[in-house]
Amino acid sequence: MVAENGLTEGRYGFDLEIPADVPDGVQALLNRRVIRKYKTNPISEQTMALLLSAAQSAPTKSNLQQYSIVIIRDPEVRNAVSELVPSMPWVRNAPVIAIFLGDVRRIRRLAEIRGHTYLNNNADTFMNAAVDAALAMQCFITAADYLGLGTCPISYVRNRIDDLAEILDLPDGVFPISGLCIGYPDDAGYVSMRLPQKVVVHQDLYNDDDLETDVKDYDDRNHERFALTPTKQRHTDKYGVLEKCTWSENVARQLSLPERAGFADYLKRKGINLD
């Protein structure tokens, strides 16, 4: 049995035919939203232990577990991190900040301890560590949503990657993936509209022949619900302000200029080979 029950309308701007009886956990995923305003309520050690247990329940490549998490509660450290992202006040106001890290240092050390030669300093290992950290963060986010907490990922911390590494005392072989603000919501947030499945999902073979038409339809739906104000339009000094700046225009603007050009150099300086 299928039903158009409104659960996907927020995510796509239209309803899909889905099973009539959707479990609460899946409904929570469909209703997931970023939270950028938090109450001052502290998060207990027991709740954090539960959230971190959920994070460590994520899949991990070959059980290598190539990630680490730094939990920041100390006001001095939190302020130092928040100063790296002055345009995002929610970083300073979040009761807890977590930094999710790719970590290839641990197994390198274990190889030495066990008397083996480590021969996997390469791009594939970097990818595996980055994915491990991202999966752990997503499981953490899902558990936080279930417990009534709000979260906001912060990839911008990589814009100041050397400063962040110094603040957190990150050794060689460890690299930031993302920050994550965590707290009890003081704002309802909103459900971000996503590209339709026919753009993202390919059946059997990759085919993007209808990309322009399908994205135009998405742009129109998204603009109707979340019109981009001038302050949210990218690189207006170069491209100007549009009355209707669509999602596709804005992301094309964003990526028309290099971002985080020093990231690869940072990784190499931290002893990570991308060959």
User: What domains lie within the chain, and their CATH numbers?
Assistant: 45-189 (3.40.109.10)
Q: Is the pTM of this model over 0.85?
A: yes
C-alpha 128/C-alpha 120 separation (Å) is 11
C-alpha 21/C-alpha 1 separation (Å) is 9
pLDDT in tens, 207-232: 999 999 999 999 999 999 999 999 99
**In this structure, are residues 234 and 253 in contact, taking their beta carbons and an 8 Å threshold?**
yes
Give the pLDDT score at 261. 86
Extract the residue ranges of the chain whose pLDDT is less than 70. 1-5
C-alpha 18/C-alpha 40 separation (Å) is 38
Give the pLDDT score at 20. 87
Give the pLDDT score at 137. 98
Pick from 109, 132, 160, 185: which is nearest to 266 by CA?
160
**In this structure, are residues 34 and 151 in contact, taking their beta carbons and an 8 Å threshold?**
yes
